[in-house]
Structure 1
Amino acid sequence: MSSFQSTGVECKVVARVLANGTYGTCCSVLVSFEEFEDEEVDAVKGLDGSVKRIFGRYLFNVGEGTQRLCAQYRIKSAKISSVLLTRLDSQHCGGLGGFQFSLADAGSPNLSVRGPEGVCDVMSANSAFIYRRWPETSVQSVQSDSCHKAKYEQLGLAQVLSITLGVELKVSECTDKSYCHWCTIDKRDNESSDGSSEESESSSEESDSSSEESDSSSGEEDSEEEKGNHVDDVALCFILRCWSRLHYNGKTPIKSKAREIIFAVVDCPSEHHIRYLTNSTHFVPGKPCAHEIKVMFHFAPKEVVVDSQYQQWLKSFTETRHILVHPSNFKQRSCLADPFPSSTRWTSSLRVAVPGLFPETNVERTAIRVVGGGQDQAFAKGFLSKGSVVCVEDRLLFGVCFQPDDPEPIHLETSAMYSREKQVLLNADAVKMARNAFAEDSNMLDVSDDESLEDDTAKRRRVENVAQVTFLGTGSAKPSKLRGCSAVLVSFGDGTHALMDVGEGVYGQMTRLYGKDGTLNIIKRLRWVWISHNHLDHHGGVGRILDLYSHGFQVGCQPLLVIAPAKIKAYLETYVKSLGKHRALQTYTFYHCSEVWRCIDGAKSCRVIHCHDSFAFAFPVTVEEKPLKKVWLVYSGDTRPCPSMWHRLRMPPDAGMYTILIHEATFDDSMSDQAIRKKHSTIGEAMDAAKHMHAKLVLLTHFSQRYPKLVSNGESQTYDNAVMASDMMVFPLLADQLTYQHENARMQTLLQHLEKSKIS
């Protein structure tokens, strides 16, 4: 061990595609510095199967669902110390708030964030809802007036160049092909280290390469025509330079006697950005020095990639491997890998018990069984040749590994790779396991015939356009593999919709269930959005919804009603303005939760016992037109048992409506102390509230992530009028005074069988 302490430790640098822009995610790459496990290192460590160390991670883009992706693929987000944003919009930074919360919950000490202008305001808006002193954040916006200039800094274990594309940058033909920024930096570092016994990092931190560059290619003023051409949307490209040997503490790279690794992340959003990219002095191939980009990740859409100018520029990098990440470049558009396969497998299993409550999702409808196993081999062979251009297609967690001390330093990292073919097979196994669970239980009906599973509820939904509630997220605090953040979609019989709480990832959940076109149609027909209180897991997805609503907004349309606590108003104003979406400010109207009666006919609200400005509310829902029949829908939000809610939101028995209560049930009854401390409810307390409010039906949600599958609560499983919600459950609001004892019994029986199963 001492030899490694004195000379440093070998590490491999792995760049993985964390998300490819499908199902509400954004193009995202995760770079990890991992301990290199060769025979010598294993001999020192011992062959006890100990977990390899992660020295640091860099994350490019933090879209909605990032923290759930980390949970899905067992990636410790606490090791991510740097976030680099290529664009500042709801798609590429919509998950920043949840990601900050996840790091704070894990006790991460530091986080560096770099992005386009406005990133400081976005981080500040999110930080207002994170009540922790950590992580200590360093946030800087990257600004430049020329595509030939770049922001340079030593950021942790890597040197980073940030190049800006767009917004009236000075552009002229790049003539200085020999200029190399890394040569300039090395020369300066060597000069600054003369007479000193150790490297000085402070000399390189926070420096701007514009002070060192001659910028000879832009010596003359741009023509009037060039000045008039500009791009509204700013995009950043990043070049990372790192090394394969670290000091033993994993905090400082050792540049001498180590292999240099340079790769780039290029985001060129439109054809208008191409000229800024191709004229940058930092993206010039064939330089006389050895500082060549080895791998380039491209986030560009298909219309950019097929452009002749972009193609010519891309092919000029004959020594570089090019990886296309954007989904529009996929050959099989209907063969998209689900970013959250565990949730899909779980939903497929539950459908075996209650098909009427779990309709087939868009992910399952578009599944294609891939025949043959030669595609991955052909993909690997094509990638390994220099100058190659490959598309990741459905290969999530596809990785490029830079190995130390290897004749061929670049390898494919496929051990964790996940493809659509694998998902189809695992889904089939999950359904088979669920059927076997029923077959072993003599009290349950035979489930070998799909037609026998069609219960009255499923048949009725198909023939009638009934109102219904869809549980898009049933978890609490932060998402897990099986449960997303709080969100309930209410669909009215007239084809309009509403959202009750909008946790991070709502848009992605909707696309997985309804498809992209179906989701955009739902968002376009939203009546209102209700946010119950000031916690990120209940409003983290509202920015994306407002952004998409503004895109489909037309003159003469009604602005979307946003009903929320006062603190959310300030958050939305800061968030929307900092993203440059000023138009979105005119596409919604804000009301405080206490004013819900002013904007929703017949609605009531009242304060509940949780954080400051927490509310429950109730409203009538028409379920039949002729004759007119309604139900009284109550949504508790997060709360302790609250007598004021029981009385103020209770519907009188003679009102002609029966009550459906959606109530949080964060803990089981054995954890009442935790419920009191965190101001939540247990299952028993939720059922007690239902008794006080004369509820005919109780839909329990907002379960702690300590219950990944089943919330076991003894007697709670005998409640005839209670259903424990799961993600993707679609519950029809029927006028009949029904009990759901049959459906709930089937689902609970299946859950008990699957609780210890391998479905995850």
Structure 2
Amino acid sequence: PAWTVRALSVPGPDTELSLFVSFDDARFLFGAGEAMQRSLVQKRLSLRKLQAVFLPSGRSGRGGLAGGLMTLSDAGIKRLAIIGPPDTAQHLATLRASVVRDSQTVDLKPVSRELSSEVVFSSPRITVHAVTLRPPQAVEQGSANPQRPSELSEAELSRWTTAIVNDMFRGPGSDQTIKDEARFSFNGLYRPTSADDRYPLPLASDADVATDVCYIVRTPDVRGKFDVAKAKALGVPNGPIRGKLTRGESIEFEDPSVPGVKRIVHPEQCIGGGGPGSTLVVINCSVENLERLLLSTAFGEFRAVEGKPSVPVHSVVHAVPRAVWMDERYQAWVASFGPSTQHLYADPEGTREIYFRNSAWNALQLNMLDSSIFPIPDFAPGSPPPHMPANAQRLVPNHVVPMYPPKPVFLTEDHMKDTLFPADKTELAEARAALRRNHPEYAAAVDAAQAAMAADADRRACLSPRPGDDIVVTTLGTGSAIPSIFRNVSCTHVDIPGTGGVIFDTGEGSLGQLRRRFGDGLKQVYEDLRLIFISHMHADHHLGLAQILKDRFDNGVHSKLYLVAPYPIALQLEETAWWQQGVPREALENVVYLSTNRLKSGWVPDEREFSLSARPDWSSVPRHPEQLVTEEGMVADVAAGKRKWPFENVFRFHPATNARAAEHTRALLRDLRLSEIWTPNVTHRGAAWGMVLSGVDGWKVVYSGDTKPSEALVDAGRGATVLIHEATLGDDEAEDAEAKGHSTFGQAIEAGRRMGARYVILNHFSQRYPKIPKLPAPEPVEEGGEVHAPAGPTVAISFDFMSLRVADTWKMSHFTEPLNMLYAEAEE
């Protein structure tokens, strides 16, 4: 059967390599990095009939797996194989607090730590060999009577994490006996799928994190077509005997016309076409593992020592850094496949061209309204390609390789709405002029909006500035649940003069959005960043957190950063190795965690010194010291390399933990110049928190997270400078919003009115609800010859990449007509 390989995405600021392998009746995915789901939406590709996902390494290429699994389950895919490095089960198990599907079965196949090559997947369509490139590691022995997962051997830990994953995905055919056996095999471990800080998983070993996995994909030999005319000429009788020929068997039958009265017919005499199946090789290799790749014997049959290789390879995709690609030894290894093999290089330094084009075109049209509020995403052509052999080229999105029948790689056409975005300033100016020329009604509405805005600005010029007017809210992800072509999932950056930066929620793909919005200025954003807040455990609000922390370290920023989040977030980060690998201890210690539960009643300084408010009453919380991770145990785990961050116990209400939390909170108030921090419980499906920050300069920022109308949030947020509130659904869908634990547009605005918020910014819109509501536009009040600020809240709708100085929120009401034109068509 015919099959192709398509470059769904390549390495870039907001994407990683992902290869889409397609048969008529089956799909396979190689690489599941961040933004994988959004890439599929952008390219209009469906994962229906998806059978397996192949992960490239222990440090990258799997940031989109968790979100993808949940979306696939909701789309009706009930069973999926996942093949990857040795810590694949452990990686999924760290997400057990938020990634659970009762209707889905996951078949895990981590590659062996001992075998350098093995068959990891086989189906009627493909057979896949994995070639493991793993640094050596000393063999560790587990405890004879383990009380904690960190004391398990690698084999025991593999059983334990597999039990967790099987309990996370409980669909038909999932092996629940593994979970039950594991529960009773290890003394003291009773809750395999609970995100319980008493039983933290140990970190994956450095060797597991550094493991790369290459894949050899083969298809069965292709049967030829039975030639009836040739069979008749040879005297082959009708009936089942002809079926043997089609199955590749020789036949013998009586024929008086030949000597011996017996004729033997071989399949090739009456079967036309067909031939050997084709082979695809996917190379994932770091500089650290290059020597292991060059010495591997797994590729011997594909390499031509003298003449042609014994098994030709149609295409090789290389996911390697430039230091590997440009190494003379690697180039010689590439050449050894022979001149007929196509080589495609997924260059990690290849391009900063726009990938999510619909979103960028949308930003350009918004930019016509106000270039300061609606900047254009960062883009650049990237560096020139390195040296390429004659049979090699740089891989780009939409490259398609026909594997059978085998043909050269080609660039498939973009669909109508996936139009190439300008690549430089000249093309950008031409595109802007073309938009005005081709959409005269929109251009006229833009001009009218700008004229009205200018007139309004003259009236507002005499308003006295107020505390917090210069706060800038940048909405990086404004959609809900899953990403769309226009809106990524939740992430908001707030720049507060005198305090620094705050990030509210970090859904999958938030790092890419940060890179696109701030470009070369991202390092400065990291240096100014003081606080990250995660509102709740739904995946669309936190799956991008570790990527941001890792990128911040990679940019050389090691300063203090406070993380306020539910405790399963801290547990998940504790159990995840790759974001911590190679980071100095001092830098890791500067990531200071505080639980949302500790701040749900508010913290304020007293007159003498920052101290614990009387409101939280921790003394009444029952303690079970025998169940806590002891300080001694933590020290031992750190010394053994099974634990790094956090280097101190941050869980539960042990007196020593309480004292440290109080100390950190006092420091947070001092460092951010806050008069109060508050994380009130809000009403959503499961535990959820809002955030209230009050500055000593008189400003107040309130963030709702996901919530129905919440009295606790209103009470905590009274007198807010700006309220950033979810508005998932329209006012005509109030019942749906109630059932799903969300707010409507009107309910969000009413919350702002009741708390006396000066400005309200709406976000977290349903991806199926693109309408732009008419925004209330409170007018300045003239009294006694003086102009005063409006009494009610000034409201804005948010868009991805929007950066709004809150005192300019009034401008948004002038944009309603052009925005309605822009969003006349429903989002996909």
Equivalents in 2 of 1:231, 1:587: separation in Å?
26
What is the aligned counterpart of 2:304 among 286, 289, 312?
286
Equivalents in 2 of 1:562, 1:158: separation in Å?
45
Instruction: Give the partner amino acid of 1:286.
Output: A
Q: Tell me if 1:499 matches 2:503.
A: yes
What is the aligned counterpart of 2:436 among 423, 432, 438?
432
Q: CA deviation at 1:143?
A: 2.3
Corresponding residue for 1:197?
Answer: none
What is the aligned counterpart of 2:108 among 134, 139, 143?
139
Equivalents in 1 of 2:758, 2:326: separation in Å?
58
Corresponding residue for 1:360?
Answer: 376
Residue aligned with 2:95, SS: helix
CA contact (8 A) 2:319 2:345 kept: yes
What is the aligned counterpart of 1:75 among 38, 45, 48?
45
Q: CA deviation at 1:759?
A: 9.8
Residue aligned with 1:497, SS: strand
Aligned pairs for 1:432-471 within 5 A? 432=436, 436-441=440-445, 444-445=448-449, 466-471=470-475
Corresponding residue for 2:70?
Answer: 101
Equivalents in 2 of 1:455, 1:135: separation in Å?
59
Q: CA deviation at 1:290?
A: 5.0
Equivalents in 1 of 2:446, 2:392: separation in Å?
56
Unaligned runs of 5+ in 1: 1-10, 35-54, 171-229, 248-253, 623-628, 652-657
Q: 1:678 to 1:339 in 2, by over 3 A?
A: same
Corresponding residue for 1:649?
Answer: 717
What is the aligned counterpart of 1:722 among 795, 805, 811?
795
Residue aligned with 2:61, SS: helix
Corresponding residue for 1:545?
Answer: 548
Equivalents in 2 of 1:115, 1:633: separation in Å?
43
Corresponding residue for 2:606?
Answer: none
Which protein shows a greater Rg?
Answer: 2
CA contact (8 A) 2:16 2:33 kept: yes
CA contact (8 A) 1:438 1:444 kept: no
Deviations 1:46-99 (A, max 9, x none): xxxxxxxxx22211111111111111111113433211111122x421112211
Q: 1:433 to 1:325 in 2, by over 3 A?
A: farther
Residue aligned with 1:470, SS: strand
Deviations 1:389-446 (A, max 9, x none): 1113xx3121111243xxx544525234978567768954874378623444499157
How high is the sequence identity, in percent, across the aligned residues?
25
Q: Tell me if 1:529 matches 2:591.
A: no
Q: 1:452 to 1:79 in 2, by over 3 A?
A: farther
Corresponding residue for 2:118?
Answer: 150
Aligned pairs for 1:472-511 within 5 A? 472-494=476-498, 496-511=500-515
The RMSD of aligned alpha carbons is 4.0
Corresponding residue for 1:48?
Answer: none
Deviations 1:161-183 (A, max 9, x none): 1101131299xxxxxxxxxxxxx
Moved more, 416-425 or 673-682: 416-425
CA contact (8 A) 1:96 1:126 kept: no
CA contact (8 A) 2:209 2:577 kept: no
Corresponding residue for 1:400?
Answer: 401
Q: How many corresponding residue pairs?
A: 613
Instruction: Give the partner amino acid of 2:521.
Output: G
Deviations 1:602-625 (A, max 9, x none): 212210110332111111357xxx
Q: CA deviation at 1:695?
A: 1.1
Q: TM-score, normalised by structure 1?
A: 0.73
Instruction: Give the partner amino acid of 2:8.
Output: L
Corresponding residue for 1:391?
Answer: 394
Unaligned runs of 5+ in 2: 139-206, 225-245, 249-273, 604-664, 779-791
Deviations 1:298-319 (A, max 9, x none): 1112111111111111112222
CA contact (8 A) 1:244 1:403 kept: no
Q: CA deviation at 1:487?
A: 0.5
Q: 1:259 to 1:634 in 2, by over 3 A?
A: same
Corresponding residue for 1:595?
Answer: 598
Corresponding residue for 2:129?
Answer: 161
Deviations 1:302-341 (A, max 9, x none): 111111111111112222111111232x4xx5xx331211
CA contact (8 A) 2:83 2:120 kept: no
Residue aligned with 1:481, SS: coil
Instruction: Give the partner amino acid of 2:355.
Output: P
Q: 1:457 to 1:320 in 2, by over 3 A?
A: farther
Q: 1:152 to 1:80 in 2, by over 3 A?
A: closer
CA contact (8 A) 1:263 1:295 kept: yes
Deviations 1:719-756 (A, max 9, x none): 9711110000001144xxx6x44x22332211211223
Q: CA deviation at 1:266?
A: 0.5
Equivalents in 2 of 1:31, 1:499: separation in Å?
37
Q: CA deviation at 1:360?
A: 3.3
What is the aligned counterpart of 1:263 among 245, 262, 280?
280
Corresponding residue for 2:317?
Answer: 297
Equivalents in 2 of 1:15, 1:28: separation in Å?
10
Deviations 1:269-318 (A, max 9, x none): 21x32221121112231277752211000111211111111111111222
Equivalents in 1 of 2:687, 2:12: separation in Å?
36
Corresponding residue for 1:681?
Answer: 743
Equivalents in 2 of 1:546, 1:703: separation in Å?
26
Equivalents in 2 of 1:309, 1:124: separation in Å?
38
Q: Tell me if 1:87 matches 2:70.
A: no
CA contact (8 A) 1:266 1:296 kept: yes
Corresponding residue for 1:571?
Answer: 572
Deviations 1:653-695 (A, max 9, x none): xxxxx52111100000100110011010001111111111011
Instruction: Give the partner amino acid of 1:568.
Output: I
CA contact (8 A) 2:7 2:397 kept: yes
Q: CA deviation at 1:124?
A: 2.1
Corresponding residue for 2:692?
Answer: 618
Q: Tell me if 1:604 matches 2:653.
A: no
